[in-house]
Amino acid sequence: MKNWNSVEEKWREQLQNKSEDIPEGLWSRLEERLEEKPTRRFPIYWAAAAMLLLALGLSWNWNTAPEEEAAEVTHVIEKTEVPLEKDETPVSEPLIVQNKTTESTLAKASLQPASDVAAPIASVIEESTKEEVVATVPVIEKREESPEIVTVRLDIDPIVEEDVKPTFTQQKRRKSLFGKIVGEIRQALDGEPVNWQKLKEGNPAFENRIHTVANTYVKTEENLKRTLQLQ
């Protein structure tokens, strides 16, 4: 008595070399397909690259990088014309690119003792309107090593670090996101369905923070109610 394996083996042998008639024009269609292949692939790579850049940009925007803060300070330095109040010793200064005419003046000023330095530096900053602050990285790095560098920053920029505000776009972005969250939470408290996924869209980092933000909001509201009751 035969079993299924032997039946299938026989069928396999028979079907193995079976060949169908190929309809006319199939090669032409394939040829066309082969011609168009490279042109169709090209934009896919570009799209992938664009997506990657977008994702990187979004994550970079969301996380407040220390470099951004440094750039903000640089911006303040560029504009400042406020007279210097404190007379502590400047140890380092921002890296400044300027015209040859003002270079020597600045070099002199930086080498002078603490008591004499304040006025010349202020005057140099005032007179050199064309100068550009390239980077304040050395200032930040040295600040960590010695407390003297912190005083240099205060000399140049009387504005306290806490006052340095994030850029307009960042502030706006956070406000709008926060506004959305508050709106959704209010909706949830009112007993209406909330689409949390919609809030998370395009913000991978936000996914981890949404619960923290929501908890903070609820706690704040509870604290406020408690305070009002006590009063």
How far apart are CB 42 and other proteins at their closest, in Å? 14
The reply to whether 39 sits near other proteins by the rule CB under 8 A is no
State whether the Cα torsion 195-198-199-201 is positive or negative: positive
| C-alpha closest to that of 199 among 179, 218, 217, 215 | 179
How far apart are CB 215 and other proteins at their closest, in Å? 40
How far apart are CB 11 and other proteins at their closest, in Å? 5
Give dist(CA 55, CA 77) in Å, integer.
Answer: 32
How far apart are CB 19 and other proteins at their closest, in Å? 4
For other proteins, the closer CB: 21 or 81: 21
The reply to whether 17 sits near other proteins by the rule CB under 8 A is yes
The reply to whether 15 sits near other proteins by the rule CB under 8 A is yes
How far apart are CB 7 and other proteins at their closest, in Å? 5
Give dist(CA 143, CA 135) in Å, integer.
Answer: 14
Return the range that interacts with other proteins (CB under 8 A); candidates 20-28, 113-121, 128-136, 200-208: 20-28
**DSSP track, 162-224:** GG-PPPHHHHHHHHHHHHHHHHHHHHHHTT----HHHHHTT-HHHHHHHHHHHHHHHHHHHHH
Pairing of strands 132-135, 95-97: antiparallel
Q: x/- contact string, 164-183, with other proteins (CB under 8 A)?
A: --------------------
Give dist(CA 135, CA 164) in Å, integer.
Answer: 17
Q: Are 122 and 93 in contact (CB under 8 A)?
A: no
For other proteins, the closer CB: 2 or 79: 2
The reply to whether 45 sits near other proteins by the rule CB under 8 A is no
Binding site for other proteins (CB under 8 A): 1-4, 6-8, 10-12, 14-15, 17-24, 26-27, 29-31, 33-34, 37
